Amino acid sequence: MKQETGPETIERVLSSYELGRKLRQLRLRKKIALVDLGKHTGLSPSMLSQLENGKMVPTLPTLARIAMVFDVGLDHFFSDKRGRKLFSVVRAQERVRFPERSDAPFPSYFFECLTFGSQGKGMQAYLAEFPHRPLTESAEHCHEGSEFLFVLDGTLTIRFQSEDHELGAGDSVLLDSSEPHRYHGSGKQGARAVVITLPPRI
């Protein structure tokens, strides 16, 4: 299956905001012709037509010029006021695999975001892969909120408050991620897990 390129991913995510539809609604509401809008923005009527029909994705400077004419903020184009319920599909081939840190010679884990491009979500979900590594090579980290981890396969060891906890396939853990913690694939084949992070409670 063909891997999606970076520009294709950006175009697909921006397309989900239906920028062209919102632009057309603004123009018709103000009763402005494409030619007149072109005079106000310095953009050609042909280009504006392509933007409205979704044949072209506007750059931020272009969108800003249009927003100024209609006296709206950029958030007008990136919000959904139609009351849609949250529903977002991420295809396997669309995900991108990242190391723990780009400068880490031997990352203690790799991750793929399972919810990228989703609007209005209150959590983040990842597919994480933990290669077999000594615990001393894994980096300790912390972040606000809480974290849930479910082990899909392999053996994973988590160090939390100076204690080591070994998890196998089917095991899960919920932890306060503001407390420093570290994990590593302790089995010969490492481990894979689904990781969900939640923001702190207000």
What was the pLDDT predicted at 170? 97
pLDDT band at residue 136 using 50, 70 and 90 as cut-offs: low
What the block records as the tokens of 149 is: 């981890």
92-102 pLDDT, tens digit each: 888 888 888 77
CA dist 123 and 47 (Å) reads 37
Query: How far, in Å, CA of 107 to CA of 98, rounded?
Result: 10
- CB count in 10 Å sphere of residue 43: 18
Q: What pLDDT, on the 0 to 100 scale, is given for residue 70?
A: 85
pLDDT at 91 over 90: no
SS3 of the chain: CCCCCHHHHHHHHHHCCCHHHHHHHHHHHHCCCHHHHHHHHCCCHHHHHHHHCCCCCCCHHHHHHHHHHHCCCHHHCCCCCCCCCCCCCCCHHHCCEEECCCCCCCCCCEEEECCCCCCCCCCEEEEEEECECCHHHCCCECCCCEEEEEEEEECEEEEECCEEEEECCCCEEEEECCCCEEEEECCCCCEEEEEEEECCCC
Task: Write down the mean pLDDT value for the chain.
Answer: 85
Domains and CATH numbers, the chain: 18-76 (1.10.260.40), 92-198 (2.60.120.10)
Q: Which of 17-31, 54-68, 130-144, 175-189 has the lowest mean pLDDT?
A: 130-144
CA 58 – CA 63 distance, rounded (Å): 6
For the segment 151-167, what is each residue's pLDDT rounded down to a tens digit?
999 999 999 999 999 99
Token reading at 17: 């905001």
Residue 138: which of 176, 174, 191 has the closest Cα?
191
